[in-house]
């Protein structure tokens, strides 16, 4: 069974500094995808970044990068140059092949990020 663990219930960061949000996962499927979503207080899930299990390089999307350590089963999100608008809940999620050509997402518990001016 899949499992996603986010051990940081809350994180604080100063504006313009970098912050790392932790995520570890467990799956027996060799093919899987890892996603990070941002959920502001309005409720919508906003896709940030994706890392595939077979990807050779760490994913980057603008100010977001993923520190993927496959052997340790971790996929930490790094946000550089934090902005006040980054304050939100952040979820790590995983999809594996699940024997189908699509798969459901399994989410971690989330981390609330607060950016201070």
Partner 1 sequence: DAMVIQNPRYQVTQFGKPVTLSCSQTLNHNVMYWYQQKSSQAPKLLFHYYDKDFNNEADTPDNFQSRRPNTSFCFLDIRSPGLGDAAMYLCATSRVGGVRTEAFFGQGTRLTVV
Contacts with partner 1, residue ranges (CB under 8 A) = 4, 31-33, 35, 37, 42-47, 50, 52-53, 91, 95-97, 100-105, 107-110, 112
Q: Which residue shows structure tokens 């699940």?
A: 98
Question: Smallest gap, in angstroms, from Cβ of residue 77 to partner 1?
Answer: 16
- Among residues 58 and 97, whose Cβ is nearest to partner 1? 97
Cα 83 to Cα 56: distance, rounded to the nearest angstrom: 29
Nearest to 73 by CA among 110, 115, 108, 38: 108
- Among residues 70 and 104, whose Cβ is nearest to partner 1? 104
Write out the two tokens for 92: 């790590």
Write out the two tokens for 75: 């996929």
- Among residues 44 and 117, whose Cβ is nearest to partner 1? 44
Name the DSSP class of 84: G
Question: Smallest gap, in angstroms, from Cβ of residue 18 to partner 1?
Answer: 25
Backbone angles phi, psi at 3, to 5 degrees: -150, 135
- Among residues 79 and 110, whose Cβ is nearest to partner 1? 110
Question: Smallest gap, in angstroms, from Cβ of residue 85 to partner 1?
Answer: 17
């Amino acid at each position: 069974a899949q499992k996603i663990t986010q051990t940081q219930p809350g994180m604080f960061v100063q504006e313009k500094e970098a912050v790392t949000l932790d995520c570890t996962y467990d799956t027996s499927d060799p093919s899987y995808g890892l996603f990070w979503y941002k959920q502001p207080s309005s409720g919508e899930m906003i896709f940030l970044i994706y890392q595939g299990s077979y990807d050779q390089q760490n994913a980057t999307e603008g100010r977001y990068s993923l520190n993927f350590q496959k052997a340790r089963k971790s996929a930490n999100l790094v946000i550089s140059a934090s902005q006040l608008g980054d304050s939100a809940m952040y979820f790590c999620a995983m999809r594996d092949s699940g024997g189908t050509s699509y798969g459901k997402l399994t989410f971690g518990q989330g981390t609330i990020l607060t950016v201070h001016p």
